[in-house]
Copies of this chain bind each other. A is one copy, B any other.
Amino acid sequence: MKNSVFDSFKPKESKFFPLLRQMTDVIAQVSDLIIECVQVTNHTDAVGKYKQIKDLERKGDEIQNAVFEELNNSFVTPFDREDIDALSGRLDDVVDLINSCAKRIMLYSPKSIPESAISLALLVKSAAECLAKIVAKLDVIKKNPGIVKEELSQLEAIENKADDVYEHFLIDLFENEKDAIEVIKLKDILHELERATDAAESVGKVVKMIIIKYS
């Protein structure tokens, strides 16, 4: 299952970093789509957006499997195998949660989706942009661990803002929505977006741990 002797002398970052960048491309695309998805006004459009997101979610799974195959077949890896696996796993969690939000919108057909969902989706998009920047710099992170400091702080700030938005949404929901089933639906839908920003912050934590290990 190993590469040939010659393969193993290729520059060691040859496959992993491009695969992880493909993953952040997928995250960028689903985070654009979820902004549109929370603004659909009918079930047909919700189904359409969900299908586009679902296709990308499958692509995310394929990339994660490719990372796994590559870990299996590579003699040398730029970071510990567990860390690369954790990185691709946590990145894929972001995609899964965005997909889960879109699925819930499609499944639940809520009467309407509150403005806060757009705010949360925009925060998810900001997080996606941070993740892309971080992953683009992974190849130099060992030599220059400070290079992602700014983006790591931003991921935390975004997660805090998403918490605030979700809180205000909940206050409003419990004050104004008297239909308990509608409460269940909306609480669930927006929660997945808030969790997507948590997941993005978790990617940041894996990167922090990698920095700790190699700096």
A interface residues with partner B (beta carbon < 8 Å)? 1, 68, 71-72, 81-82, 85, 89, 103, 107-109, 145, 167, 170-171, 174, 178, 180-181, 183-185, 187, 205, 208-209, 211-213, 215
Contact = CB atoms under 8 A, between A and B. Distances in A.
A68 B212 contact: yes
A15 to B, nearest CB: 14
A212 B85 contact: yes
A187 B185 CA distance: 11
Contact of A108 (B174, B205, B208, B209): B174
A213 B171 CA distance: 46
Q: Tell me if A's interface is mostly helix, strand, loop or mixed.
A: helix
A167 B185 CA distance: 13
A109 B167 CA distance: 13
A1 B85 CA distance: 27
Nearest to A110: B174
Contact of A71 (B107, B178, B212): B212
A1 B180 contact: no
A184 B185 contact: no
Contact of A212 (B72, B180, B184, B215): B72
Given A85-B212, A180-B184, A213-B81, A145 B1 contact: yes
A183 B187 CA distance: 14
